């Protein structure tokens, strides 16, 4: 069956969009990895808080592997 | 992963930061004080239902700035405090691979279906929404805005969101959005039995804004929780001239009503921690847009999403929305989800559960 340009064009545009989005994600990751602080550098020793308001120094988390993930309500 | 690697000594923390998308489901707004941000973090803990502990960034957003300013980035730190992995966007499958390399494999992997999360719903406002028509604002960016916080003064029941269009940011001439959004954490609604909200801009020399004073329209209903919004034409605003904004309004909690006068300083500079408001009128989901955003989560591109691909808020009600019982939600089913979210997950919404 031969697909007409009428059907092919939106398909190509959609695929190009997906490819561009993937490339954008990859570039974002590549840029992020190059930014400071880089892998191999120390986590800055900043003071943040526990949800009940107690101060937490990031250096106090040392001693084991730590996974930190940023997030918020929306 | 927390259940698998916690016993192996790995610590996990979510970092609570400024909102990436204010005004989405729950109509949360950026907090002004640390106490308010801590309350956000405690609410996030409830809404996510996860037992992973949170730590909360300071109000100067120091940790977000120090670690690259991304909304959902992820870092693995070794026992000496050295960053050993970083990625711009959290990717749990890759974290597992990383931890298998760094710490070792676990005997039994905990799957999503093994975890029973106690997910709770967003906060609701104490009065109806959808009473006052929203301004559908063009694509805009938050600008730096500083509330004048006075000790012992009432809280900012309504919080200003100030945004400008690209023209204003680049040329000093364009559109300025002023939105006064009730903060659901203060459980207050507008008191429409008295004078409506009024704002006043004190303009320094060289700044020209057509409506430097404005009053929100009178509302027939005794109370509501919709934002009070204004879209102003700015003729001239040099970026070195801050503007002082004063707002007066009456808000009520379940105990008492307060007439408050509050002040802000506005600067014509992009607020990189302000986040991007989303949705129609930035508060409600547009069904088609919502459904397509959900479908984009599927890697299969087959026009439907499964349980793992929907947002956590929907998960407890998945069966209800799966009208054709095929274990997937398609475009039409997701549109129904959007209508349900608009009706039940905006502050002031009457009920949380869909009717069976």
Closest in A35, A50, A74 to B24, CB measured: A74
Of B10, B64, B103, Cβ closest to residue A70: B64
What local confidence, expressed as pLDDT, does residue B349 receive?
Answer: 37
Task: State residue A21's pLDDT score.
Answer: 54
Contact B40, B31 (CB under 8 A): yes
| CB < 8 Å to A54, chain B | none
Contact state of B26 with A74 under an 8 Å Cβ cutoff: yes
Residue among A37, A51, A59 whose CB faces B38 most closely: A51
Whether residue A37 lies within 8 A of chain B, CB to CB, comes out as yes
Higher per-residue confidence, B113 vs B6:
B6
Q: Do B44 and A68 touch (CB under 8 A)?
A: no
Q: Shortest Cα distance from B237 to chain A (angstroms)?
A: 31
Between A and B, how many CB-CB pairs are < 8 A? 180
- Scanning every residue of chain A, which has its alpha carbon at the shortest distance from the alpha carbon of B41? A51
Determine the Cα–Cα distance for residues B346 and B335; give it in Å rounded to an integer. 16
Chain A hits for B67, CB-CB cut-off 8 Å, are: 37, 44, 68, 70
Encode pLDDT of B115-149 as tens digits. Answer: 877 777 788 878 888 888 888 777 789 999 999 99
Task: Give how far the C-alpha of residue B307 lies from the chain's centroid of Cα atoms, to the nearest Å.
Answer: 23
The pLDDT assigned to A13 comes to: 45
Cβ neighbours of A11 in B, within 8 Å: none
**pLDDT tens digit sequence for B317-342:** 888 899 999 999 999 999 998 888 76
The DSSP call for residue B210 is S
CB B217 within 8 A of CB B132: yes
B26 contacts A73? CB cut-off 8 A: yes
Between CA B228 and CA B218 the distance in angstroms is: 11
Scanning every residue of chain A, which has its alpha carbon at the shortest distance from the alpha carbon of B20?
Answer: A74
User: Does any CB of chain B come closer than 8 Å to the CB of residue A3?
Assistant: no
Q: Is the separation of the CB atoms in B141 and B152 below 8 Å?
A: no
CA B354 to chain CA mean position, Å: 23
Go through A18-40 and write b for each residue having 16 or more CB atoms within 10 A of its CB, e for each that does not: eeeeeeeeeeeeeebeeeebeee
Note whether A44 contacts B: Cβ–Cβ < 8 A. Answer: yes
User: pLDDT tens digits for A7-21?
Assistant: 444 444 445 545 555
Please indicate whether, in this complex, the C-beta atoms of B74 and A37 are within 8 angstroms of each other: no
Mean pLDDT of B282-287: 61
Assigned token pair, A41: 């550098």
CA distances from B336 to A39, A74, B291, B304 (A): 45, 21, 9, 14
For residue B81, which residues of chain A lie inside 8 Å, CB to CB?
A: 42-43, 45, 58-59, 61-62
- Distance of alpha carbon B85 from its chain centroid, rounded? 28
Burial class for B160, CB neighbours closer than 10 Å (0-12, 13-18, 19+)? buried
Give residue B177's pLDDT: 95
Contacts of B95 in chain A (CB under 8 A): 67
Q: Is B262 helix (H, G, I), strand (E, B) or coil?
A: strand
Q: For B63-106, how does the pLDDT look when each residue is reduced to its tens digit (9 = 90+)? A: 999 999 999 999 999 999 999 999 999 888 899 999 999 999 99
Angle of helix B331-344 relative to helix B287-295, nearest 10 degrees, comes to 120
Å between A4 CA and nearest CA of chain B: 22
Min mean pLDDT across A6-10, A60-64, B188-192, B252-256 is at A6-10
Q: Work out the pLDDT band at B47, boundaries 50, 70, 90.
A: confident
Q: Minimal Cα–Cα distance from B321 to chain A, Å? A: 23
Q: B266 phi and psi, to 5 degrees?
A: -110, 135
Global pTM value: 0.80
Q: Quick check: A62 and B56 CB within 8 A?
A: no
Tell me if B82 and A42 make a contact (CB, 8 A cut-off): yes
pLDDT in tens, B147-166: 999 999 999 999 999 999 98
Nearest-Å Rg of the Cα atoms of chain B is 22
Q: Which element (helix H / strand E) includes A5?
A: helix A5-34
Determine, for residues A67 and B13 on separate chains, whether the beta-carbon distance falls below 8 Å: yes
Token digits for B309? 């691909």
Instruction: Please tell me which residue, B113 or B216, carries the higher pLDDT value.
Output: B216
- Interchain pair A67, B64: CB under 8 A: no
Q: In the 8-state DSSP scheme, what is residue B132? A: S
């Amino acid at each position: 069956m031969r697909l007409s340009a009428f059907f092919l064009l939106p398909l190509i545009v959609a695929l190009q969009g997906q490819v561009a989005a993937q490339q954008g994600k990859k570039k974002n990751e590549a840029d992020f990895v190059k930014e400071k602080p880089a892998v191999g550098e120390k986590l800055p020793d900043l003071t943040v808080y526990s949800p009940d308001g107690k101060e937490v120094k990031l250096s106090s988390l040392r001693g084991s592997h730590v996974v930190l993930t940023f997030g918020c309500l929306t | 992963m927390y259940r698998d690697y916690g016993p192996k000594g790995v610590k996990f923390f979510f970092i609570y930061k400024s909102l990436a998308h204010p005004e989405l489901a729950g109509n949360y707004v950026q907090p002004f004080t640390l106490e308010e941000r801590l309350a956000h973090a405690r609410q996030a803990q409830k809404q996510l239902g996860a037992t992973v502990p949170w730590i909360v960034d300071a109000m100067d957003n120091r940790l977000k700035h120090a670690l690259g300013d991304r909304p959902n980035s992820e870092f693995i730190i070794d026992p000496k405090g050295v960053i050993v992995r970083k990625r711009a966007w959290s990717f749990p499958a890759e974290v597992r691979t990383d931890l298998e390399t760094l710490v070792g494999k676990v005997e039994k992997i905990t799957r999503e279906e093994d975890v029973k999360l106690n997910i709770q719903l967003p906060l609701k406002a104490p009065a109806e929404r959808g009473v006052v028509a929203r301004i559908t604002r063009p694509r805009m960016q938050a600008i730096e805005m500083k509330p004048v916080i006075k000790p012992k003064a009432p809280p900012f029941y309504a919080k200003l969101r100030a945004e400008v269009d690209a023209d204003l940011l680049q040329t000093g001439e364009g559109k300025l959005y002023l939105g006064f959004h009730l903060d659901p954490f203060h459980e207050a609604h507008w008191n429409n039995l008295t004078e409506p909200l009024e704002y006043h801009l004190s303009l320094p020399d060289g700044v020209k804004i057509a409506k430097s004073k404005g009053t929100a329209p009178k509302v027939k209903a005794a109370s509501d929780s919709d934002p009070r919004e204004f879209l102003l034409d700015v003729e001239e605003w040099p970026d070195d001239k801050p503007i002082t904004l004063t707002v007066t309004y009456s808000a009520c909690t379940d105990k008492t009503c307060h007439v408050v006068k509050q002040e802000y300083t506005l600067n014509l500079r992009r607020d990189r921690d302000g986040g991007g408001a989303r949705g129609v009128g930035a508060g409600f989901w547009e069904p088609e847009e919502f459904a397509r955003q959900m479908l984009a989560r599927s890697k299969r591109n087959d026009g439907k999403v499964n349980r793992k691909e929907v947002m956590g808020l929907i998960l407890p009600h998945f069966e209800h929305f799966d009208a054709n019982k095929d274990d997937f939600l398609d475009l039409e089913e997701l549109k129904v989800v959007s209508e349900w979210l608009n009706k039940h997950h905006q502050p002031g919404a009457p009920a949380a559960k869909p009717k069976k």
